[in-house]
Amino acid sequence: MLHTSGEPQSEIHRLTPLIPLIHKRADVLMIAEGLHVCETEVPPALAGKTLAAAAIPRETGCSVVALRTADRLRINPAADETMRAGEHLILICTPEAEQRFLEKYRTRLSPASRA
């Protein structure tokens, strides 16, 4: 996406190339009926683990589509990528998968959009 306004890109602009069709409903960024994008800080139980070792999709049904730090967004991270404390996970999930993630890792998810 070409960004020419001179203003910093918001999270939604950085995530737009990931998402072919975006519907915004309230504060949830929906990509298709029943799927949405959300963000959470890497839970302490996952810090220091690789994505493969954490097995987030198998354990919760959520797919990790990016890792975000203050200055970098790593889209489609490799399975051997290590999650670090302070980083944020960008997830695509159903409401049921989101609930499993919340219960398993005792954390909060927030909408990925900051429009």
Q: Per residue in 36-88, pLDDT tens? A: 888 889 999 999 999 999 999 999 999 999 999 989 999 999 999 999 999 99
SS3 42: coil
Yes or no: say if 88 and 70 are a contact pair by the CB < 8 Å rule. Answer: no
For residue 1, tell me if it sits in a domain: no
CATH number, domain at 49?
3.30.70.1450
Determine the structural domain holding residue 32 and report its residue range: 11-111
Quickly count: other Cβ atoms within 10 Å of residue 56's Cβ.
24
Quote the pTM value.
0.67
Task: Give the integer Cα–Cα distance in Å for 13 and 64.
Answer: 18
Counted domains in the chain? 1
2 within a domain of the structure (yes/no): no
6 located within any domain: no
